[in-house]
Amino acid sequence: MNVGQADEYRVWPASEAAVELEREQWAIFARWNDRREAGEVGPESHPDGGGVDARYDELKLLLAPHRLVPEDAARRLVAELRFVAGARYRADGLGYRLRWTRSR
């Protein structure tokens, strides 16, 4: 494993329903990324471009309220990335692990 850069993030608890929506949207992106890396599609077909993937667009709208969190409700944590072997983006998750610590 390679140790990546540590960065600070604002994080907050998510409901199970929101996590499922996030996972579904992520899977759409990961499948697109596989096609892009295979040379089948270009960056203009990125699902976040709007009007490219109807379900991605719908998920974006459904997730919007879950992504708006008041500053005082979020914790500031530092994430240290550890990359693992295999594809960087996979439908079932990322090709790295995060280690969270409190921000100082």
Q: Whole-prediction pTM value? A: 0.77
What's residue 3's pLDDT? 45
Query: Which pair of tokens denotes residue 59?
Result: 């998920």
| Rounded Cα distance, 86 and 100, in Å | 22
Q: 57 vs 25, 46, 67, CA distance in Å?
A: 9, 11, 15
What's residue 102's pLDDT? 86
Query: Which pair of tokens denotes residue 45?
Result: 């077909």
What's residue 6's pLDDT? 61
What's residue 83's pLDDT? 78
What's residue 99's pLDDT? 84
**CA of residue 63 relative to chain centroid, distance:** 12
pLDDT in tens, the chain (104 residues): 334 456 888 888 899 999 999 999 999 999 999 999 999 999 999 999 999 999 999 999 999 999 988 778 888 899 887 877 777 777 777 777 778 888 77
Per-residue pLDDT of 43-52, as tens digits, reads 999 999 999 9
